[in-house]
Amino acid sequence: MSLRSVATVSMLAALLGTSASLAQQTPPPNPLDVIPEKMPFDVPYGTPISLDRAEAVIAAAVAESKKRDWKEVIAVVDTGGHLVALQRMDGAAIASTKIAEHKARAAAIFRRETKAFENGIQLSGFTYLLTLDDIIASRGGIPLVEGGKLIGSIGCSGGTGSQDEVVCKAGAATINK
What's the DSSP call for residue 142?
A: E
Comparing 95-109, 125-139, 158-172, which segment has the lowest mean pLDDT?
125-139
What distance in Å separates the CA atoms of residue 160 and residue 15, rounded to the nearest whole number?
Answer: 51
pLDDT tens by residue, 65-74: 999 999 999 9
* Average confidence (pLDDT) over 139-167: 98
Residue 17: per-residue pLDDT: 57
Report whether 126 contacts 117 (CB < 8 A). no
Q: Residue 61's closest CA among 173, 152, 162, 136?
A: 173
> Residue 2 pLDDT > 90, yes or no?
no
pLDDT band with cut points at 50, 70 and 90 for residue 30: confident
173 pLDDT higher than 70? yes
pTM: 0.81
Where in the chain are all domains bearing CATH 3.30.450.150? Answer: 51-172
CATH fold of 51-172, please? Beta-Lactamase (3.30.450)
- The predicted pLDDT at position 9 comes to 54
